[in-house]
Amino acid sequence: MVYLFAQSILSGIVRFATDPMVLGTTAGAPEFGLDRMDGAVLLSGTSNDSLITYLLFASLLLLGISAYLLVITFRRNRRMNHILHQRHTLIDKQKTDLELAFREMISLKDKAESANKARSGFLANISHELRTPLNGMIGLISLLKKTGLNDKQQEYVNDTELMARNMLTLVNDILDYSKFESGSLVLQQINFNLLQELTEVLQIFRKKTSEKNIQFISRQDTDLPHYVKGDPVRLMQILNNLLQNAVKFTDKGSIRVHISLVSEEGDRFRLRFSVTDTGCGISESEQKRIWDVFEMGDESYTRSFGGAGLGLAVSSKLASLMNGEMGMSSAEGSGSSFWFTVELLKGTEPDLLNSKICQKILVVEDNLINQKVSKATLQNLGYEVDLAENGKIAVDKFSKTQYDIVLMDIQMPVMDGIQATREIRKIEKDQKSRKRTHIVALTANSMLDDKKKCEEAGVDSYLSKPFNLEKFPVLLSQISQNGHY
């Protein structure tokens, strides 16, 4: 703008100097003359010096203004360059910070995955080390009960069985809670006799309540399905937790158990289980807390009755995994009523005659007690049994003998069950005339990764410990009908 103003001043001076009105005819005015040479206008007369002075002044003015503008432009450019440099520096710093944050995030992710893997391995080992001896203990108790005991011995055995099952429930609660946190718990989907499972659990608590002089009443609706498909261990774990609490907090009166069919849609059943007692009850202020992990309501309950405070929290999550829910109603001093619903698939009644098709069984198990229990139980059922204490021995025996079925423990020394299964499948592939043998994985780890590994290795069926081998004929009949369990 200033530059254009200077240009207009210079143009005005030139127009003034060359205007005929200024150069010529005004009376009394100084005379000016114009000499023209080669088309150029030459100023002459007395005003020539003044005009040159005006032109020089205007040129200097224009030069000064231009210099001023150059300085302003230079300063502005320098300021802009400084701002751009600051911004580039800031961008570079932010880029560096982002790169460092990204590398740190990747490092933390790797550490988290490593920690999760270590945790999963720890859980697998703990699960194996705890459930394996409990599986053997419950198996030995089952065998002992068939040896013709007197009344006193039978009482001791029943108490031992109850304590063993309570311990197993606690172990299951602890391990299942850890698996909930890591998202690795997987439920079984196996065919089982619902009424038989209920009878076994209810009989144990009926004897316990009898010792406390508490009335035990159980009612099962007549329209309940006999065979369903689901996870019997987790289902009975929920019921066992509720019954344990009822027995623990009830000193007189009664405990009532009711199992009913809520609905049937297609191949799905919705069942409702309720346990009602006349125990101490729970105050309204404490009822919300009992669903939290490690909470047992009033602290005096913990001092008086003991407990880990895991049962209800885990049971509620298990019911949710079975597409159900859990609830309760209670009044302090008047008892409590806990209930839960689950969704189970329609099962099929097994043809036990098909179980006789299988005669020779290879049991692969490293625990000596479990070996003894497995062999005695299966032999009592009429099967021929071979034992292998690790996967390497199992592969060697399999290469020399044709078996109808293999019960494969997964976690073993020397060679684990997954590697042994791969080796067995290689033998079958090399010996083309040999029929495929059904391999059932028996594992203490109900984790999603374990199931995937078993399937990838060539395992046909997957069962969690503890598994009652007295129900083995049912398993075999399902294998004969469906090719898997």
List, run by run, the mean pLDDT of 10-residue segments along the chain (485 residues).
55 54 45 44 53 75 80 84 86 87 86 73 73 84 88 87 83 77 75 90 88 93 92 91 91 94 94 94 80 54 48 88 93 91 89 65 92 90 92 95 92 92 93 87 70 86 75 72 53
444 in any annotated domain: yes
Q: Is 92 exposed, middle or buried (0-12, 13-18, 19+ CB in 10 A)?
A: exposed
370 in any annotated domain: yes
Q: State the pLDDT at residue 365.
A: 92
83 in any annotated domain: yes
Q: State the pLDDT at residue 242.
A: 93
- Looking at the fold, whether 201 and 311 belong to one and the same domain comes out as yes
Which of 300, 315, 346 terminates a domain? The answer is 346
Which domain covers residue 359, as residue numbers? Answer: 352-482
- Looking at the fold, whether 324 and 356 belong to one and the same domain comes out as no
Which of 290, 318, 346 terminates a domain? The answer is 346
Q: What are the Cα distances from residue 68, in Å, to 12, 57, 160, 350?
A: 22, 16, 105, 104
- Looking at the fold, whether 358 and 282 belong to one and the same domain comes out as no
138 in any annotated domain: no
DSSP label at 470? Answer: G
132 in any annotated domain: no
DSSP label at 390? Answer: S
- Looking at the fold, whether 334 and 211 belong to one and the same domain comes out as yes
Q: How many domains does the chain have?
A: 3
Closest residue by Cα to residue 385 from 414, 364, 357, 410: 364
256 in any annotated domain: yes
- Looking at the fold, whether 356 and 313 belong to one and the same domain comes out as no
268-277/384-388 β-pairing: unpaired
Beta strands in 317-460, from DSSP E residues, in sequence order:
325-331, 335-346, 360-364, 384-388, 405-409, 438-443
Distance CA 201, CA 205 (A): 7
- Looking at the fold, whether 225 and 365 belong to one and the same domain comes out as no
Distance CA 464, CA 35 (A): 122
CB–CB of 244/309 below 8 Å?
A: no
Q: Please report, for the domain that includes residue 305, its CATH number.
A: 3.30.565.10
Report CA dihedral (430, 432, 436, 439) to the nearest 10 degrees.
-10
Q: State the pLDDT at residue 93.
A: 86
Which of 318, 346, 374 terminates a domain? The answer is 346
CB–CB of 65/3 below 8 Å?
A: yes
CB–CB of 123/179 below 8 Å?
A: yes
139 in any annotated domain: no
Q: State the pLDDT at residue 113.
A: 74
End-to-end CA distance of the chain: 92
- Looking at the fold, whether 151 and 112 belong to one and the same domain comes out as no
- Looking at the fold, whether 92 and 3 belong to one and the same domain comes out as yes
- Looking at the fold, whether 222 and 123 belong to one and the same domain comes out as no
- Rounded to 10°, the helix 48-144/368-380 angle is 60
Q: Which two tokens stand for residue 365?
A: 């198990």
Q: State the pLDDT at residue 353.
A: 52
- Looking at the fold, whether 103 and 79 belong to one and the same domain comes out as yes
- Looking at the fold, whether 106 and 13 belong to one and the same domain comes out as yes
- Looking at the fold, whether 96 and 177 belong to one and the same domain comes out as no
- Rounded to 10°, the helix 194-211/151-182 angle is 120
Distance of CA 394 to the CA centre of its chain: 34
Q: Which residues lie closer than 8 Å to 54 by C-beta, 6 or more apart?
A: 13, 17
Q: State the pLDDT at residue 398.
A: 95
Report CA dihedral (88, 93, 96, 98) to the nearest 10 degrees.
-100
Q: Which residues lie closer than 8 Å to 212 by C-beta, 6 or more apart?
A: 247, 250, 251
Q: Which two tokens stand for residue 64?
A: 């000064």
211 in any annotated domain: yes
Q: Please report, for the domain that includes residue 467, its CATH number.
A: 3.40.50.2300
